[in-house]
Structure 1
Amino acid sequence: MTLHYQAGFGSELQSEALPGALPPHNSPQHVPYGLYAEQISGTAFSAPRHQNRRSWLYRIRPVAGQVCDQPYEQPRFGAALDIATPPVPLRWYPPALPATPTDFVDGLFTIAGNGSAALQHGFGIHMYAASRSMHERVFCNADAEMLIVPQQGALRVATELGLLDVEPQEIVVIPRGIRFAIALTEGTARGYVCENLGAPFRLPDLGVIGANGLAAARDFYYPQAWFEDRAVPTQLITRYLGRLWQGTLTHSPFDVVAWHGNHAPCKYDLRRFNTLGSVSFDHPDPSIFLVLQSPSEAPGVDDLDFVVFPPRVLVAQETFRPPWFHRNIASEFMGLIHGAYDAKTAGFVPGGASLHPCMTGHGPDAATVARALQADTHTADYLTDTMAFMFETRLPMLVSHDALASPLRQQGYADCWQGLESRFTGQIRVDPC
């Protein structure tokens, strides 16, 4: 099946799988084909127009009366977070692909998080490793928007509003409350997931950058309406208040024949990111790599950022080109999708992850520093074989007990900086008594 998409992040879009399925704008309840009208709102009804998220769905059967009240056990997803998380750099090897059949939901495991689903702020960071498609089961996150970052294995994401094919180096954003199922088009898959409990992701303002740069709204693709009319028992798993609940639907939930609005799933190709950088002498802050942001109530301060480090050219002369050593008020979770990251020579591999807590010093490892100090900075440095990303947050990251105790955690990660010996050439003058 060839999929067709619509473009424009946050735009009011519309789509119909049958001609004339969208009702007239002045009669939204008078729906053709005997369909039911349903609105799903991702923000408060009275949110400002530029922040308001809602969609009208025209479906074969309404969702009312569908009960999801039985606990579903998946202890690795939502594993307990450790309030005693140490302020040290952490790094993990990639997870192995499951030896037994495991779908996306059962393959999720929690790395870190903070905040509250009940109070609607904060985040959760997870990884997934799967070896089978979701069959006659769907997932709904009533707590959070989900940003999925495939690292290995392409996905076909079936949603109430249509189908999205997503491959590594692309991402998919599933709005809060939208039901979806994930099929593995290559048999196995793994990657990363961020739950955004706060304000929906949006494109950042460009400010002095001007009208062009970073991620363009036209490069975010939304699905065309697609539906199936199948009366088959389907398991519904819902995440609500941090727990998983299950119930059985009598039919497929993918029965939306037409829709319009802006509360809709979308995908984005990270290779389309228009990277900016210094052409003179300094190393800019990583905010120039910002793809999506979840703003807080404080101007200029986000609850959560999604940042990408794609292929780029380093041209600044007479300077140290790798990222500088730093401590941040933000906590940083990094993943590597493809290739190598320019600030780490070993240990940080595709499918792995690192976490640098708030105010914990980090930066390029000793081998990277040694190489950079000898580099000819009058020659451009082409970084071509790379695609890394970062979830950055102003909230401290509490790491799960499972992630801290995991055999995938790299013991002695901080040793990568042990070779940074003193290069001080100054002399201290000691006055005689």
Structure 2
Amino acid sequence: MMGALGRSAVVLLALGVFLLGQADGRAESSSPPVVSRCVLDGMVDAGSSAYLVDCVRRAQEAGHHALLIRLDTPGGELESTRDIVRAFLGSQVPVLVWVGPSGARAGSAGVFITLASHLASMAPGTNIGAAHPVVGLSGQDPEQAGGKEMARKIENDAVAFVEAIARQRGRNVEWAISAVRQSESVPAEKALALHVIEHVAPTQEAFLEWANGRSVTVADTPITLRTAQAQLVDLEPSFSQRVLHVLAQPSVVYLLFMLAGLGIALEVTHPGLFAPGLIGVVCLVLALLASAALPVRTGAIVLLLLGVSLLVAELFVTSGLLGAAGLLLLVLGGVFLVDRFDAGWFVDKPLHLSLSTVLPTALFVAGASVFLAFRAAQARRMPQQAGDAGLVGEQGHVLETVSPSGGAVFVHGERWAAVSSLPIPSGAHVVVRRVEGLTLFVDEVRS
């Protein structure tokens, strides 16, 4: 009897555990899935690359069901693109890319990023493609800038890169290669027909609804997506990532160098102000930080710093030659700031620093330096207004009769001991001729 009761208890306990597990499963399945969302809007650079790589990490650590990337980019730097692709291909969470809204594009570097996703969708009115390598400064074909061999090397490297991504994700390898070799670009509907993407969706929510229940392979493991009615959690870039993204522009780097030079020049000519010097140092640090995220020539930075130094020297020499040489070096440093041919760069919208930015900025800095030099020269020609020498020529009146043996006068708001070669009565007006220690040598001013 007791054995039968024991077996019944075990069966009831097992049934209870089973029903509890089923209830937990239903509760879990009824809870809305959580999908991380990040936005790539603008150039692909060191800042945006660090942001997207961090998005993958944060989505994995949070255990979210997927990571959604809203993409709109004209292209960007190849090494930063490689970092993003590497993170997508090695992600432990499904990565979904939606090119949108309408009017957006996945240009140049955006092709690689889109192909590296587990599932890709585009909004109607968007396009993808035009991934042929160009030179950063002028937008030239690599063959025009570096010769046939260098052009072939860059192109073949880019082709191998895009082909490997397309094969791993099972997308149209032939089109991916043509996007690099022939700069082919297609709209969303044609990209779908060519199996470049998997879906055309007008909104992110529609894309997530379509993706729900589909299977993708993540880290060699098939995963069924749960994205219907997902709760979107926006992952914002950090402050340093935002700053780096803003600074990674040639014109910003050049302006920072110019502001640094002008601030330091003001501090040198007006010591004690502190604010111009502090601003100059901060701008110099930011310029050096931003230059690390761009294909910047070290020689160009040296030219800029030397040009600023010559302008500062002009403030003391006022010869005109140093100022003209400094202006020339500022222009040359700006023109050559971005490397004209760097095999590590791959952009659709060429990174460059145009003369329309360089010349006005250099002229403004040079003009400000000339103005400071002129004011400094004027100040050197003016009589000293402070200290003992500043009292010479000042007028006052006699407080106590002044004679060769002494007396007292009131000059410059102060009482002074005074002597004179001739006696001067009290109340008379006097002028200071020289100062020795705390004694003024004065003469009477006759009306």
Scaled to the shorter chain, the TM-score interval is under 0.3
Higher relative CO (CA 8 A, sep ≥ 6), structure 1 or 2? 1
Q: Which has the higher helix share?
A: 2
More strand, by proportion: 1
TM-score normalised by L of structure 2: 0.24
| TM-score, normalised with respect to structure 1 | 0.24
